[in-house]
Amino acid sequence: MQHVSKLHQRYGPVVRIAPNVLSFTQPEAWKDLYQRNSKDRLVVRDNSLLPPFEAGPGSEKTLLFADEIGHSHLRRIFGPAFSSGATKEREASIQRLTDIFIAKLDEKATGQASVDLDEWLQYYAFDNGCELVFGQNFRCLEERYLHPIIQTIQQTGKYATLVSELYRYGIWQVLELFIPKSALATRFKTYNFAFEAVDRRIRQGHVHGSADVFSILVKDKNNVGWSPDDLRANGLFFAVAASDSLPFTVCSAVRLLCHSPDALRTLQQELDTHCVRAEDLTFKTLAQLPYLNAVIRETFRIFPPGNVISGRSILTAGGQSIAGQWVPPGTSCSVSPFSAGRSALNFARPDDFVPERWLDEPPAEFLSDSRDASQPFSVGPRSCIAEE
């Protein structure tokens, strides 16, 4: 994404990054590309850059790859499981895992020069994600266990971008020849593991007092009309999504704060003032801390967890206006969160970590920042369902 960002810095807010593919950084482009369609516009998700073997079995039934009608159906199904009320019900589970995480870090840090924060965050995030989805975790955090799904995520990330780019030019099969069969076998083993975990959870039914996704859905089946295939296809998707971005975001925030002592000091003072005891670290309290939330938003601006938001194909007859630019039909367009967040046209001192720019009354030099340009979870009907 740094390469695309440099292209924008050199050529402006709209650049052609491949034949028939445009990248935008203007805040208006988010609305123009990702809003709901009307009778006179047709802009749909572009799935053309993902080879069949990359998407995985049953991918057409996931929130990520479903068509417009299927996606709307899935949002109605899974929406209640990601409501603010459902999230509140999971607070005790998240706090329990967080306590274990902190205790493990304290234990490992004693007498050692350093601790691999990313490694331990992966354990924490995966256990948390599995409790969110399946109502159980696999003790990765307690046993320092690198689950095969985590390994699969790491393997996939190494070649996913390259595969997509080769697929754009119709030559992705070349790369497939060099992917070890063992790696592909591991991926499909992971899919089967997730499918079996979902089937077990469905058979278990609603568990009183549990707020995991499937417990909520099983309880409300008559209201949302899901099928076992809907849940089976999305089980792995939710577990991966819940555990993939958190380590990256937290490590990014820690890195930025360590290089910004003034920001770190301000954040520590706010937390010390409002969270005297560990019991004070509640969702409600943390949501009301302006500087903490400014740090989070600034981290998302500089290092968005979803570096690539899926493109949109312009199918409107005669073309469509995107951020003031007329785009012909058949063109694939997208907004790069990384490039938009780092654009000097959108933010003053774009490469500097300045949480103050997100406060209700920011310093004068940041009053003209285009805050809407930073959308790490996308916007519109296909935005991240777990954004809250």
What is the average pLDDT score of the chain?
85
pLDDT of residue 57: 63
* Residue 332 included in any domain: no
User: E strand or H helix at 60, and its extent?
Assistant: none
End-to-end CA distance of the chain: give it in Å, rounded: 26
Domain carrying residue 156 = 57-243
Reported as a single tens digit per residue, the pLDDT across 59-78 is 777 888 888 888 888 888 88
| Residues above pLDDT 70, as percent of the chain | 86
Residue 316 banded pLDDT, cuts 50, 70, 90? very high
Of 105-109, 226-230, 301-305, 338-342, give the lowest mean pLDDT range. 226-230
Structure pTM? 0.89
Residue 97 banded pLDDT, cuts 50, 70, 90? very high
User: E strand or H helix at 122, and its extent?
Assistant: helix 117-134
User: E strand or H helix at 131, and its extent?
Assistant: helix 117-134
* Residue 38 included in any domain: no
Is residue 29 a contact partner of residue 312, using CB atoms and an 8 Å limit?
no
Residue 132: strand, helix, or coil: helix
Q: Which residue has the higher pLDDT, 183 or 127?
A: 127
Distance CA 174, CA 91 (A): 47
Reported as a single tens digit per residue, the pLDDT across 13-66 is 999 988 889 999 999 999 999 988 888 888 988 876 665 555 566 677 788 888
Is residue 275 a contact partner of residue 228, using CB atoms and an 8 Å limit?
no
* Residue 197 included in any domain: yes
pLDDT of residue 351: 95
* Residue 248 included in any domain: no
- What's the mean pLDDT in 203-223? 76
pLDDT of residue 195: 83
* Residue 315 included in any domain: no
Strands, E, within the chain: which ranges? Answer: 14-18, 21-24, 43-45, 312-314, 320-322, 325-327, 332-335
Domain count of the chain?
Answer: 1
Structure tokens at 330: 């058949």
Highest mean pLDDT among 24-33, 54-63, 238-247, 378-387: 24-33
pLDDT of residue 375: 94
* Residue 228 included in any domain: yes
Distance CA 1, CA 378 (A): 16
Q: What's the Rg (C-alpha) of the chain?
A: 22
Is residue 24 a contact partner of residue 14, using CB atoms and an 8 Å limit?
yes
Structure tokens at 126: 């995966």
* Residue 270 included in any domain: no
User: Domain holding 135: CATH number?
Assistant: 1.10.630.10
Q: Which residue has the higher pLDDT, 369 or 117?
A: 369
Sequence-separated (6 or more) residues with CB below 8 Å from residue 162: 175
User: E strand or H helix at 322, and its extent?
Assistant: strand 320-322
Is residue 376 a contact partner of residue 342, using CB atoms and an 8 Å limit?
no
* Residue 174 included in any domain: yes
Count of residues making up the chain: 388
- List the Cα angle 114/117/122 in 5-degree steps: 145
pLDDT of residue 165: 67
Of 100-114, 257-271, 310-324, give the lowest mean pLDDT range. 100-114
